[in-house]
Amino acid sequence: MSAPDRSRLGQFLAVLLLAAVAVSVAYRVTDVGFLTLTSIYMFSPMVAAGVVCLANGIAVAEVGLEIGRPRWLVLATLLALPLVALTLLGAVAVPDVAYNPLADPVPGLDLPPGLPGVVATFGLVLALGATVNAVFAFGEEFGWRGYLLWELAPLGFWPASAIVGGLWGLWHAPAILMGYNFPSFPILGVLMMVLACVAFSPVYTYLVVRAESVFAAALFHGVFNGSAGFVLAYAVTGDLVLRELVASPVGLAGVAAFGFAAVAIELAGPPSLAAAYSRT
């Protein structure tokens, strides 16, 4: 299996850097809203991957743009929920973080009480996560777990996952410096996001390889983003450090939950990227 191509990687990183500079400048010199800018920015990895594929004659199916194995797509969609639940358990286990059973995880939506309300909430999360959210998540995932994972596959499961996760985390820097996720700790927040993305990355890699499709990552990402708010709603604390850096889906609670999943992958035996992305 051939080594990663530095020229293609350079093209990919150059487009991402241009996008990061563009969104940062636009935030400071225009009246375009934060949500609009970040929504557009989410598609920059897809654009970068598209540029590399077109410029180098790489078929999109080769980098995972195909349906793959439907059973694993379904599993990818569902797996986000137990990992969010594990994150919530880790968050409320922290001293000075309390569980609020009266929280309203979907503000403004009148849901029935008791078990029917819980079922309706999870149904809504799955429906939106696997559709609307997954479209935006695909804007990221075709770059990270499509092209980039394919390019780095010769390095093996764990090194490739770590590098993809690190770049994914750094890519969030413009949004975090604008106040996203860690509004009270923007600089430290960039480092925390890198740590979180490195922890998340093996699960994404595993699902994509098993599903033989980048859509697995988009579905998982969409549902995770849609359900991660449960942690912020139910785990309450007055301490800003705990709220933003610990009891958060992208805080230490999330890192720990995905760390357990990574250990499970290692114990089960991670899939071979060389076999999944065989190329000359």
pLDDT digits (tens, 9 = 90+) for 177-193: 999 999 999 999 999 99
Residues 92 and 98: beta-carbon distance below 8 Å: yes
pLDDT of 269 above 50: yes
pLDDT of 121 above 80: no
Q: CB under 8 Å to 157, separation ≥6 — which residues?
A: 202, 205, 209, 270, 271, 272, 273
* pLDDT, mean of residues 93-97: 96
Higher pLDDT, 267 or 108: 267
Higher pLDDT, 113 or 65: 65
pTM confidence score: 0.94
Q: CB under 8 Å to 174, separation ≥6 — which residues?
A: 20, 23, 24, 27, 41
* pLDDT, mean of residues 74-88: 94
Residues 197 and 169: beta-carbon distance below 8 Å: yes
pLDDT of 20 above 80: yes
pLDDT of residue 120: 74
pLDDT digits (tens, 9 = 90+) for 135-174: 999 999 999 999 999 999 999 999 999 999 999 999 999 9
* pLDDT, mean of residues 218-223: 97
pLDDT of 46 above 80: yes
SS3 106: coil
pLDDT of 260 above 90: yes
User: Among 28-37, 97-106, 117-126, which is the least confidently predicted range?
Assistant: 117-126
Which of 107, 136, 143 has its CA nearest to residue 124? 107
pLDDT digits (tens, 9 = 90+) for 243-255: 999 999 999 999 9
pLDDT of residue 80: 94
* Banded pLDDT at 234 (limits 50, 70, 90): confident
* pLDDT, mean of residues 34-61: 95
Q: Which residue has the tokens 């800003």?
A: 240
> Quick one: residue 65, left, alpha or beta (phi over 0 = left, psi -120 to 50 = alpha)?
beta
Buried b (16+ CB within 10 A) or exposed e, 222-237: bbbbbbbbbbbebbbb
pLDDT of residue 2: 78
pLDDT of residue 280: 47
Residues 230 and 243: beta-carbon distance below 8 Å: no
Higher pLDDT, 14 or 104: 14
* Banded pLDDT at 101 (limits 50, 70, 90): confident
How many C-beta atoms surround the C-beta of residue 156 within 10 A? Answer: 13
pLDDT of residue 108: 67
Average pLDDT, the chain: 92
User: Among 25-34, 39-48, 113-122, which is the least confidently predicted range?
Assistant: 113-122
